[in-house]
Amino acid sequence: MAIPPPRRQDSLAATFGVARSEITPPVGIYSRNWGAAKNDVATSVHRPLTLNVLAISQGDTSLILIEADLGWWRPMSLFERFQSRLLKEFNLPADQLIFALTHTHASAPLMEPDPHLPGSELQEAWLESVYESAVATIRQALSDQFSGILDWHQGTCQLASNRDLPDPESDRFLCGYNPENTADSTLVVGRLTDSQGAMRAVLVNYACHPTTLAWENESLSPDFIGAMRETIEQATGANAFYLHGASGELSPKYQYVGDVNVADGHGRQLGYAALAALYDMSPAGTELAYSGVMESGAPLAVWKHRPFEPATQIDCQRHLLELALKDWPSADDLEQQRAACEDRAVQERLRRKRDIRRVLGDGTTHAVPFSVWRLGDAFLVGSCCEAYSKLQTELRQRFPDRTMICMNLINGTIGYLPPEDKYALDIYQVWQTPFAQGSLERLIEAMDESVQSMRNHPTETSARREP
């Protein structure tokens, strides 16, 4: 019988840069993200909101990953202008930049100022400060680079639960904890170590909506991500990133509260789960290999860490995938419905639906961008949509020998992507999405093809595929 192969983490050896800045909005800014909320403006700050940058360089190619404590873009065109400025500032092709949202629901909305909304006059200056912070933080990450190894390892966390709950009084579904359905508990942790052995960053890829704080909350907050970062950083001294996973139907069991202590508890739960995975990893640049037998009271199999050469390939692709749209009313019709509506919760739904329709236009399809990065032995995939966890579970099943970092809400915001078998149900994610049945499955297939192409044609530098 053959000895099992060495236990190795998916790794990348490259040049890296890590930097952070604060982007907390001012108290008094418009911050109503919940239709049920009675308050319109933020009255305090729970924890600072931050913007984090990871720069990954190989040769003359740099990949820039930005993670920011922001909710969602209203509308997509606002992000497109923001992105265009960043790309021009750094002379970057679009496939080399990912701007990822942690998706906190307790920040100021990413929207244009609206004179009808209290506190909205602070939006423009704050948004410009977010852009300036992004520029400064990218510059810092690029100017303070070091040689290092980025390793990945998988763990689990029980924070997320399924939130598609059948209404006991009707045929519709409620958006909240369903104890009868299981949730994907997969947690993927990335550890960035420099050449001196110091840990410089910890990347936490996990799928769970940051919806702990809801309509009763009046504080600006990163939700559970703030305490997650604090827990990891106190233990490691490294910057912690939250890479929001495919969480379309996933959220904490206990949520929709005004008590920030609950959010902190959730964050510590995720932080300690990440630390557990982190401390299960081999030292950077090593693999655990069988080294022989030690005869003792029992014949002891001895395994030891030995050096190996990490992968060095980086690659990036950006694609546009045409997805069919539902037959929605026009943006003007939706605005008329909103203006005539006196229910604040329904008004908020119509406002969001109107903004999505404005982005999509009046066509029957829409080109959705998605990104695929190769990071040595690992792959990062993501889109601007809010995919159900089927996206990550399916891709991880298809590529069991590779770490798959799967992300929602990168490079913009459009709508949900539920599985095709959900479309017959009266469920929030189905009636919110503008995309027709089968769109999630089409995105999974497109991502699969892109990953396969990178595996079959590895390169040492970026191989861009611009639409």
Q: What's the pLDDT at 68?
A: 98
Classify residue 443: in a domain, yes or no. Answer: yes
Whether 330 maps to a domain, the answer reads: no
- Cα-Cα end-to-end distance for the chain: 51
**pLDDT of the residue at 130:** 98
Q: What is the predicted pLDDT for the residue at 327?
A: 82
Q: Are 10 and 152 in contact (CB under 8 A)?
A: yes
Domain membership flag for residue 1: no
**How far out from the chain centre does Cα 316 lie?**
17
Residue found under tokens 């920030």: 260
Q: Is 361 left (phi over 0), alpha (psi -120 to 50) or beta?
A: left
Q: What is the 3-state secondary structure (H, E, C) of the chain?
A: CCCCCCECCEEEEEEEEEEEEECCCCCCCECCCCCCCCCCECCEECCCCEEEEEEEEECCEEEEEEEECCCCEECHHHHHHHHHHHHHHHCCCHHHEEEEECCCCCCCCEECCCCCCCCHHHHHHHHHHHHHHHHHHHHHHHHCCEEEEEEEEEEECCCEEECEEECCCCCEEEECCCCCCCCCCEEEEEEEEECCCCEEEEEEEECCCCCCECCCCCEECCCHHHHHHHHHHHHHCCEEEEEECCCCCEEECCCCECCHHHHHHHHHHHHHHHHHHHCCCCCCCEEEEEEEEEECCCEEEEEEEEECCCCCCEEEEEEEEEEEECCCCCHHHHHHHHHHCCCHHHHHHHHHHHHHHHHHCCCCEEEEEEEEEEECCEEEEEECCEECCHHHHHHHHHCCCCCEEEECCECCCCCEECCHHHCCCECHHHHHCCECCCHHHHHHHHHHHHHHHHHHCCCCCCCCCCC
Q: What is the per-residue pLDDT for 66? A: 98
C-alpha 184/C-alpha 206 separation (Å) is 9
Total number of domains constituting the chain? 1
Residues in the chain, pLDDT under 70: 345, 458-467
* pLDDT computed for residue 340 by the predictor: 84
pLDDT at 74: 87
pLDDT at residue 459, as a whole number: 54
For residue 172, the Cα-to-chain-centroid distance in whole angstroms is 28
299 domain residue, yes or no: no
pLDDT for 465: 37
Residue 353 forms part of a structural domain = no
Whole-model pTM?
0.93
Residue 251 lies in a domain: yes
Classify the C-alpha dihedral 117-119-122-126 as positive or negative: negative
Least Cα distance to 432 among 330, 320, 354 occurs for 354
Find the domain containing 81 and state its range.
10-285+311-325+364-456
